[in-house]
Amino acid sequence: MAPHVPDLQLVVAGPDGGARQAFEQQIDRLRLRDRVHIIGSLLGVAKLGALVDATVFCLPSRQEGFSMAITEALACGVPVVISRDCNFPEVAEVGAGEVLELDPRLFADAILRIVGDAELRARMGTAGRKLILSRYTWPRIAEQTIEAYHNLCGVPRD
């Protein structure tokens, strides 16, 4: 992606799982040290600030349960590019980003498409925020839980 978008910056946040040294060697080999920023874990206001400032959020994971990182990015109105193994198909269903096979070329193409289209980013960001507000806020979760209990017990709702 670097040759296609000369001012694109990559910010890598979160724990490195022991892969930092090899990753930094690759960054140096590709001469991308000035464009790749490894910042470690972010919490609270710093994390939300980084998400709000992001152009796109990317999580090419091999397995996820329910990803708070994806949920937080969507809540901040950031388009996401994630792997199918993130188990968040709603992202594609509502048009909040792309859900892809774990293939670097597919991820690069999706990121380039989103970075290069401000209208697409805005649509995806709005769709992601709406998704979170409609399904993943505490009041909505409470409603869904009460509804599930009513359905399981066979008790009609008032």
The CATH number of the domain where 89 resides is what? 3.40.50.2000
State how far the Cα of 139 lies from the Cα of 127, in Å rounded to an integer: 19
Q: What is the rounded average pLDDT of the residues 107-125?
A: 97
What is this structure's pTM? 0.87
User: Is 3 a domain residue?
Assistant: no
User: Is 82 a domain residue?
Assistant: yes
User: Is 130 a domain residue?
Assistant: yes
User: Is 31 a domain residue?
Assistant: no
Give pLDDT tens digits for 52-69.
999 999 999 998 888 999
User: Is 9 a domain residue?
Assistant: no
Half-sphere exposure (Cβ direction) of 112: Cα atoms closer than 13 Å:
12
User: Is 17 a domain residue?
Assistant: no
Total domains in the fold of the chain: 1
The answer to whether 72 and 51 are in contact (CB under 8 A) is yes
Give the lowest-confidence range in 12-21, 55-64, 86-95.
Answer: 12-21
Range of the domain at 49: 42-153
Q: Which single residue is written with the structure tokens 């590709």?
A: 30
Does residue 156 have a pLDDT over 80? Answer: no
> Which is higher by pLDDT, 85 or 156?
85
User: Is 69 a domain residue?
Assistant: yes
Mean of the per-residue pLDDT values for the chain?
93
Q: What is the rounded average pLDDT of the residues 17-39?
A: 93
CB neighbours of residue 97 within 10 Å: 29
Does residue 6 have a pLDDT over 90? Answer: no
pLDDT of 53 reads 94
User: Is 5 a domain residue?
Assistant: no
State how far the Cα of 138 lies from the Cα of 156, in Å rounded to an integer: 23
